[in-house]
Amino acid sequence: MRSLPIVLAAPLAACGSSAPGPDAPLDCSKVTGVDYYVAGLEKVGEANMLDFRLVSAEPAPPMRDNNTWVVQINAMASGVVGAPMDGLALNVTPFMPAHQHGTPIQVVVTPSTTMAGQYTLDPVNLWMPGVWQTTIAASMGSVNDQVVYTFCIPD
């Protein structure tokens, strides 16, 4: 029974020595499974009802702290992008999966008064380095769809 603490201590010491410290720089060029920002980054919603286009981001690419995004949302029918969708209710949720937390700042959605189907999302608060998934859920009547933009935010 006395050897048990020694056996458990060895694996814990090995894990601690191989894990990067909290001050280790994040190299986003080595992170896989993320989106790479380009103006107009387009994605079809999970339910294939809406087409989402990230028209712009300020700063570009998305960075740490507050960001302003403009999205264009259009109807979809049989895989074909249709008319711009005004009047959608949007719920925007930034989430950091590695740490299982979101952000304390709620994203405010402002519909454009000059461009049909465009919405400004501000602030999209990505407050710490790492991979962030920002879900944009849109609904109106029987239309319910969502998309996830995943970006690596450097130090």
**What's residue 23's pLDDT?**
55
> Could you read off the pLDDT of 68-99 as tens digits, one per residue?
999 999 999 999 999 999 999 999 999 999 99
Whether residue 92 is contained in a domain is answered as yes
**What's residue 25's pLDDT?**
73
Average pLDDT over residues 24-36: 90
Look up the CATH number of the domain holding residue 133.
Answer: 2.60.40.10
User: In this model, does residue 19 exceed pLDDT 50?
Assistant: no
**What's residue 16's pLDDT?**
33
User: In this model, does residue 15 exceed pLDDT 80?
Assistant: no
Whether residue 3 is contained in a domain is answered as no
Amino acid in position 99 = H
Whether residue 62 is contained in a domain is answered as yes
Whether residue 9 is contained in a domain is answered as no
Whether residue 19 is contained in a domain is answered as no
- For residue 130, give the nearest of 92, 98, 93 by alpha carbon: 98
Whether the bond into 61 is cis, omega within 30 of 0: yes
Q: Looking at the 3D structure of the chain, how many domains does it have?
A: 1
Please tell me the chain's helix, strand, coil percentages from 3-state DSSP, rounded to the nearest 5: 10, 50, 40
Confidence of residue 26 (pLDDT cuts 50, 70, 90): confident
Whether residue 16 is contained in a domain is answered as no
Rounded to 5 degrees, φ, ψ at 10 are -65, -50
**Cα separation of 140 and 126, whole Å?**
27
Is the CB of residue 49 less than 8 Å from the CB of residue 144? Answer: yes
Whether residue 52 is contained in a domain is answered as yes
> Could you read off the pLDDT of 85-144 as tens digits, one per residue?
999 999 999 999 999 999 999 999 999 999 999 999 999 999 999 999 999 999 999 999
Range of the structural domain that residue 81 is part of: 27-153
Whether residue 87 is contained in a domain is answered as yes
Average pLDDT over residues 41-60: 98
Which pTM does this prediction carry?
0.84
